[in-house]
């Protein structure tokens, strides 16, 4: 089963969904993981409080970029409030394999950025990533 998820991660890394820039962007956020240099930017197009379109861009490891790609698929059609409340479990379920404490911030960077875009302010690192043993926020 792990082989399937590893291939799924590599597919999202090599062929990211919703990669690029929006022609019309209502909210955006960008951040980086200072530990490894992963960088992600999300742009959201919002109509009546609902995410109508999303794009992301960035550079980094396969986990960070694939996770952002998967999240971009998850949020289309969600209300902004729902995006802001996405739990870290969403990322872990998407990735489908165990994430070591050292890679948790790689996996959750996209979640932090997408929440920042939804909230219109800088979001903190997801609490569960810290609880999983990955350093400070």
pLDDT value for 127: 63
**Domain limits of the chain?**
2-131
pLDDT value for 23: 96
pLDDT value for 66: 96
C-alpha to C-alpha distance for 125 and 88, rounded to whole angstroms: 10
pLDDT value for 1: 53
What residues contact 79, with CB distance under 8 A and at least 6 apart? Answer: 49, 50, 51
**Mean pLDDT per segment of 10 residues, for the chain of length 137 residues?**
77 96 96 93 97 97 96 97 95 89 92 94 69 35
C-alpha to C-alpha distance for 64 and 9, rounded to whole angstroms: 10
Q: Any idea which residue has 């875009």 for tokens? A: 117
Q: CB–CB of 89/83 below 8 Å? A: no
Let me know how many helices (H) and strands (E) the chain has, helices first. 6, 3
Query: If you compute the radius of gyration of the chain from its CA atoms, what whole number of angstroms results?
Result: 14
pLDDT value for 136: 33
pLDDT value for 18: 98
Q: How do 39-47 and 27-32 pair as beta strands?
A: antiparallel
The CATH number of the domain covering residues in 2-131: 3.90.1010.10
pLDDT value for 126: 78
pLDDT value for 35: 86
pLDDT value for 5: 64
């Amino acid at each position: 089963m792990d082989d399937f998820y590893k291939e799924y991660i590599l597919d999202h890394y090599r062929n990211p969904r919703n990669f690029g820039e929006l022609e019309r962007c209502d909210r955006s956020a960008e951040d980086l993981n200072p530990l490894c240099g992963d960088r992600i930017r999300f742009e959201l197009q919002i109509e009546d409080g609902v995410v109508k379109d999303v794009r992301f861009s960035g550079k980094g490891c396969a986990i960070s970029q694939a996770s952002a790609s998967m999240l971009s698929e998850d949020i289309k059609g969600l209300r902004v409030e729902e995006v802001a409340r996405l739990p870290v479990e969403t990322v872990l379920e998407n990735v489908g394999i165990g994430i070591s404490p050292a890679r948790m911030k790689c996996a959750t960077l996209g979640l932090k950025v997408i929440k920042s875009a939804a909230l219109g302010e800088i979001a903190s690192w997801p609490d569960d990533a810290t609880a999983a043993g990955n350093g400070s926020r």
